């Protein structure tokens, strides 16, 4: 990673990101954070399956898959764009300005995604899946 960054002309990032944080350390911490998030989701599923049964687990999995995927895509893209903009910022005021401008757009995007998700669930998934899927699809609304 360090040689690739040097080839791209990012020597300052190779040496340190700030306060002695190297790229490897940053990657390790980010990876650990995401792994813990994934483990939390798996623990939720295991406990729900053990306590409420497989039918409730299936409903939960469908609701989370439908509700979370657009939100995850929006939050991941916002985080990636924010990282690039914050990297170019020179001071605290630049950081605040870049973050505030992007986060307002992200909030609007999130609201639009929730509306689109609810409309899609109601008018596309419900007719397609039928009455047997009413309870799992009802769980999409609070999950979004």
Q: Write out pLDDT tens, residues 109-121.
A: 888 988 998 899 9
Q: How many helices (H) and strands (E) does the chain have?
A: 8, 0
Q: Which two tokens stand for residue 105?
A: 């757009």
Whole-angstrom distance, CA of residue 62 vs CA of residue 20: 43
pLDDT higher than 80, residue 17? no
Q: How confident is the model at residue 14 (pLDDT cuts 50, 70, 90)?
A: very low
Confirm if 113 and 71 have CB atoms less than 8 A apart: yes
Confirm if 135 and 62 have CB atoms less than 8 A apart: no
Q: Where are the domains of the chain?
A: 1-52, 53-144
Residue with tokens 């689109």: 116
pLDDT the model gives residue 22: 65
CA 79, 81, 87, 88 torsion-angle sign: negative
């Amino acid at each position: 990673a360090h040689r690739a960054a040097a080839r791209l002309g990012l020597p300052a990032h190779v040496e340190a990101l700030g306060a002695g944080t190297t790229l490897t350390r940053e990657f390790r911490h980010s990876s650990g954070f995401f792994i813990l998030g994934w483990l939390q989701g798996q623990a939720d599923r295991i406990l729900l399956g053990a306590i409420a049964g497989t039918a409730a687990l299936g409903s939960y999995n469908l609701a989370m898959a439908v509700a979370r995927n657009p939100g995850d895509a929006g939050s991941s893209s916002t985080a990636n764009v924010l990282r690039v903009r914050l990297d170019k910022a020179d001071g605290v005021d630049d950081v605040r300005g870049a973050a505030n401008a992007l986060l307002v757009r992200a909030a609007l995007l999130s609201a639009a995604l929730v509306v689109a998700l609810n409309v899609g669930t109601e008018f596309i998934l419900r007719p397609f899946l039928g009455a047997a899927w009413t309870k799992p699809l009802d769980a999409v609304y609070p999950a979004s």
